[in-house]
Chain A
Amino acid sequence: MTDLLNLFSIDNLLLILRLATPLILVALSSTISELAGIISLGTEGLMLIGAFGAVAGSHYTGSGAAGMVIGMASGAVMALLFALLCIHFKSNQTVCGVGLNLFASGVTAVGTLVIWQKEGISEQVTQLGSITIPVLCRIPILGRFFTEQSPIIYLTLLLCVLIWYVLKYTKTGLRFKAISMHPVAARSAGVSVNRYRYVALAVSGALAGMGGGFLSIVQNDVFVKNMVAGRGFLGVAANIFGGWTAFGSAGASFIFAFAQSVRFNMLKANVPDQFVQMLPYAITIIALVLFGKRSKSPEALGKIK
């Protein structure tokens, strides 16, 4: 029973926040990509490339922050190449996404061997450190949220609000909405649809890269082969579950993070690790079954004209 209550303790809530951050980032990445009309199955690969880029960047510059920026840039560049294939060459987006995941897996593994001469795991690098926010950290109980947390967490939540605002109230957002529903109409209204798509994919790649960087140089200080382990796909699922909106993606990510947190709390119980590992995925399926029917995917998803 105490185990159950533990799930809602401050410690666990902080854990959930830390688990949710990379998920929110990839979910947002998926949201933006799919609103632009491009299926985001390659998110897993983009996240992995970002994770690797961040570690490599930190290795060569000695700075965690610089590493993170490089991680984001790697994600953005890879996403732009993917966008070129999908938009200009009208690739089969789903299959191409699978290719991206495979390619990323291979290229990062090769890169690890090349840079550090080690198979499957890099050397340790400088992390992107945590910060403490001066006044807010004094608040009783809630102050813990502002003490020794990664700035990326705050940045993520801010990005979430920013994206929501842009989509709802700005010129860019209106045009983007039109592109997601009826790109031909947007084009006939004078909107450079493809330019918006490329920009969107670059942003999407940077977000996924940030998510990957969080895994590699915030929560850890190394790159491990295939360390993303399905979180990219969870992000894609979170976006679908959240109805292709910013707050929806965030909300769904928190739910999945909650499911993941259960795993950490059950280590004490006598349940085989495999069942605990299954839990987030099983909960995701149940959640999609119960709630997934609500939203419809953007009309123009997957169709580039």
Chain B
Amino acid sequence: MQPIIEMTSITKSFGPVTANADCNLTIEQGEIHCLLGENGAGKTTLMNILFGMYHADSGTIRIKGEVCDIRSTGDAFRHGLGMVHQHFMLVSNMTVLQNIILGQEIGRFKLNYKESRRQVCEIIDKYGLDLDLDARIDEISVGMKQRVEIVKTLYRGAEVLVLDEPTAVLTPQESGSLMQILLDMKAKGKTIIFITHKLNETMQIADRATILRDGCVTGTVQISETDIRALAGHMVGREVQFDLKKAPCKPGKVLLELADVKLLPQAKGTVNLTVHEGEILGIAGVDGNGQRELEEAIMGLKQPLSGSIKVDGQETTKETPLSIRHRGVGCIPSDRFHRAILPGLSLAENLLLGFQSRKHYVKHGFIDEKKLRDSTQETIISFKVKTAGPNQDIADLSGGNQQKLVLGREVAPEYRMVLAAQPGRGLDIGAVEYIHTQFLRLRSESKGILLISADLDEIQKMSDRIAVLYKGEIMDCKPADQYTVEELGLLMAGKRLSEEDEANA
């Protein structure tokens, strides 16, 4: 049987950076094929080329045996390809229906909503996808947004669906639903390409998998004939540590305390939590449930709607970000490029951020450049930041190295507590491992860490205690070993274990 898609010798560079080097990919009709690799391996670029968002420098694409030149997303649609992107391509102030028909509308000038509605309803009935066509995109849940993206592809007659890291934003239960939908679609004859960096997902759902590393294909395997360690080996090229050795937790006094804090207007309850010296408190939860507000409230960027926040027993709810930092609270924000680094300025100048009002590096209003440069050099060495030197523009560094500098800055001795939000996002395994090791070191030095992450694996691996955040409310908070994955998943979706039992009874 002829493969439905064949990508041969695809190479693509962006300036001096090579994203795909001589990649070969074969997709069989009716299979679920995983494209596996670390962040930055080139998976999304390869699929963007297939989908017409980019054009390859060299190589050929064959669809159903015929060579195709895909220069736009329109071409891709015509060949029966559809893509569900990692970052949703939805217009927030338009309705679900409008988003689905965009670009493929019915009607020459005036839009024919009646007919569009009929066609879309046919699709959502056929595949059992539950959607409110008149809801505005900025009012629906993440899971529903994803379903809108799927319907978009089906509306255009896609035979092959490409999904880019679809479970990154879902709870375990929502991921389960998604898997079910995909298996359903496979049964109805669709072909599915699933981009992911998660090994267990690949093992769970794929028929075959192709692994990318550093822009090259390192292997194509039949899932039934392989195991998770082999996949990891292809992905990283070396032995991967699956268990970090963690010393038992010896919590000291309370560093941070949140009492009755209301983060979101729609929250039914409030947030109560404490972080002690020498412990890692993990906040689990799907993005968008108040994590950002929690981070901003603690760091003084935005006041919570009500409640009190105390650092070292002192009320800090209404204090400025500067004074909270001076009290010893550091922060590695979730969106580091937008919120932690100053592009265009040197590494040394970036290290100064947060310390600009301390006496360290300031003499009579002037910057003590030598002292700053020496400090930066020390940090570069201790945290293994790959750079040409303290004067290099931070924007020239890779994401992982930028994060390492931010880490080096925020774990300075002046900070006794660090708030780390999604620290591993977008980084390769090596960088993530390094960061985790650093967190454990801080913990052994009696510092406190508040780890906010949507990555359940990370939370379970690192935390001493876990709290689950759902719609601005802490659903539960107890020692990590007292949770099951199932319970965590339910809490992340807003259901308590007891409720679920009742529902099933």
Contact = CB atoms under 8 A, between A and B. Distances in A.
Q: Do A and B come into direct contact in the complex, CB within 8 Å? A: yes
Interface of A: 169-172, 174-175, 177-178, 181-182, 184-192
Contacts of B109: 170-172
A178 B73 contact: no
Contact of B89 (A169, A172, A184, A192): A184
The interface residues of chain B, by DSSP majority, are classed as: loop
Contacts of A174: 94, 98, 102, 105, 111
B270 to A, nearest CB: 30
7 tightest Cβ-Cβ pairs between the two chains A and B: A189-B103, A185-B89, A190-B103, A190-B74, A188-B89, A189-B102, A171-B105
B283 interface: no
B92 interface: yes
Contacts of B104: 189-190
A131 B102 CA distance: 43
B89 A191 contact: no
A175 B416 CA distance: 51
B111 A191 contact: no
Given A170-B109, A184-B89, 11 more contacts: A169-B110, A174-B105, A177-B91, A181-B92, A181-B93, A182-B90, A185-B90, A186-B91, A187-B73, A189-B102, A189-B152
A182 B89 contact: yes
A188 B85 contact: yes
Contacts of A177: 91, 93-94
A284 B72 CA distance: 45
A27 B105 CA distance: 29
B108 interface: yes
Nearest to A188: B89
A35 to B, nearest CB: 13
B83 interface: yes
A192 B73 CA distance: 9
A175 B109 CA distance: 12
Interface in B59-115: 72-74, 77, 83, 85, 88-94, 98-99, 102-105, 107-111
A185 B53 CA distance: 11
Interface residues of B, number: 28
B408 to A, nearest CB: 32
A186 B103 contact: yes
B92 to A, nearest CB: 7
A175 B105 CA distance: 9
Given A169-B111, A171-B108, A174-B102, A188 B73 contact: yes
Contacts of A191: 102-103
A243 to B, nearest CB: 13
Contacts of A171: 105, 107-111
A181 B91 contact: yes
Interface of B: 51, 53, 72-74, 77, 83, 85, 88-94, 98-99, 102-105, 107-111, 152, 156
A172 B109 CA distance: 7
19 contacts: A170-B111, A171-B107, A171-B109, A172-B109, A174-B98, A175-B102, A178-B94, A181-B93, A182-B90, A185-B88, A186-B91, A186-B103, A188-B83, A189-B102, A190-B74, A190-B104, A190-B156, A191-B103, A192-B72
A187 B102 contact: no
A108 B53 CA distance: 42
Q: In this complex, which of A170, A172, A182 has the most chain B Cβ atoms within 10 angstroms of its Cβ? A: A182
Contacts of A175: 102-103, 105
Q: Which of B83, B103, B108, B111 has most chain A Cβ within 10 Å?
A: B103
Contacts of A186: 91, 102-103
A185 B111 contact: no
B163 to A, nearest CB: 14
Contacts of A192: 72
Nearest to B77: A190
Contacts of B91: 177-178, 181-182, 185-186
With most chain B CB atoms within 10 A of its CB, the pick from A170, A171, A181 is A171
A171 B73 CA distance: 18
A8 to B, nearest CB: 38
B111 A189 contact: no
A178 B72 CA distance: 18
A164 to B, nearest CB: 14
A178 B105 CA distance: 13
A142 to B, nearest CB: 32
Contacts of A170: 109-111
A171 B115 CA distance: 14
A181 B92 CA distance: 8
A138 to B, nearest CB: 36
A177 B101 CA distance: 13
A38 B102 CA distance: 22
A170 B91 CA distance: 17
A188 B109 CA distance: 21
A184 B53 CA distance: 10
Nearest to B74: A190
A80 to B, nearest CB: 22
Q: Which among A172, A188, A192 has the greatest number of chain B C-beta atoms within 10 A?
A: A188
B97 to A, nearest CB: 11
A236 B401 CA distance: 43
A171 B93 CA distance: 16
B71 to A, nearest CB: 11
Nearest to A178: B91
